[in-house]
C-alpha cells in the first residue's frame, strides 16, 4: 500500500457536483492498494495514519497525532499512486490491485481506522472525483507499507 498523506486544514471530495466526503483539520490521504497487499498491510497502514505525529505544537512542527488535535481523515482511493513511472513516458499500473481487491482492502482500511476511533470520510470508489485540499504547511508525506517477502 502506498499513501500520499497531506496535513490539511480542510478537504473535500465531489462526485458529479455533489460533496460526498468532507473534513476540517486532519489528513487528506490518497491511498493506492497494490496487488500483494494483505490484511497485515491494512492494519499497518491504519495504525500508521492514526498515529503519525505530523501536527504542530508550540515550536515543534511535527509533534501531535490526529487524536491529539481532534482531527479526521479524508481517505481517497487512488490507484494511480501505485504507478511505476521509471520507464518510458506512460505510467505502468501493473502493481495496482484489481478494482475488486482494491475496494475490499480500501474498505478494510476505513474499518480499521474507525476501530481506532478515527473519524473517516471517503470519496466514492471508482468514480471520477474532484478533490479539494487545503494543505497546511505544505506538509506532504509518502507512507508505504513494507515490501512483502520475495519482492
CATH number of the structural domain spanning residue 62? 3.50.80.10
Strand pairing class (26-32; 72-77): parallel
79 is a domain residue: yes
In a domain, 102, yes or no: yes
Any domain includes 150: no
For residue 93, the tally of other CB atoms under 10 A from its CB is: 12
Q: Is residue 92 part of a domain?
A: yes
Determine, yes or no, domain membership for 149: no
pLDDT digits (tens, 9 = 90+) for 88-110: 999 999 999 999 999 999 999 99
**Residue 111 covered by a domain:** yes
**Residue length, the chain?**
151
Beta strands in the chain, from DSSP E residues, in sequence order: 2-15, 18-23, 26-32, 55-57, 60-64, 72-77, 119-122, 130-144
Tens digit of pLDDT for each residue in 45-57? 999 999 999 999 9
**Cβ contact 104:111 at 8 Å:** no
Q: How many CA atoms lie less than 13 Å away from 111 in the CB half-sphere?
A: 9
Asked whether residue 151 is domain-assigned, the answer is: no
Chain segment 55-92, per-residue pLDDT in tens: 999 999 999 999 999 999 999 999 999 999 999 999 99
pLDDT at 149 over 90: no
With cut-offs at 50, 70 and 90, classify the pLDDT of residue 146: confident
Domain count across the chain? 1
Residue 110 lies in a domain: yes
Domain that holds residue 94: 2-144
Amino acid at each position: 500500500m502506498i499513501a500520499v498523506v497531506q496535513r490539511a486544514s480542510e478537504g473535500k471530495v465531489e462526485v458529479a457536483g455533489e460533496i460526498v466526503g468532507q473534513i476540517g483539520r486532519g489528513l487528506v490521504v490518497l491511498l493506492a492498494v497494490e496487488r500483494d497487499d494483505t490484511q497485515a498491510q491494512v492494519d499497518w497502514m491504519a495504525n500508521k495514519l492514526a498515529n503519525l505525529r505530523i501536527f504542530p505544537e508550540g515550536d515543534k512542527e511535527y509533534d501531535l497525532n490526529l487524536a491529539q488535535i481532534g482531527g479526521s481523515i479524508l481517505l481517497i482511493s487512488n490507484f494511480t499512486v501505485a504507478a511505476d513511472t521509471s520507464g518510458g513516458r506512460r505510467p505502468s499500473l501493473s502493481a495496482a490491485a484489481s478494482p475488486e481487491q482494491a475496494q475490499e482492502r480500501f474498505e478494510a482500511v476505513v474499518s480499521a481506522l474507525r476501530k481506532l476511533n478515527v473519524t473517516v470520510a471517503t470519496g466514492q470508489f471508482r468514480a471520477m472525483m474532484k478533490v479539494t485540499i487545503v494543505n497546511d504547511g505544505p506538509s506532504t508525506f509518502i507512507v508505504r507499507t513494507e515490501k512483502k517477502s520475495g519482492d
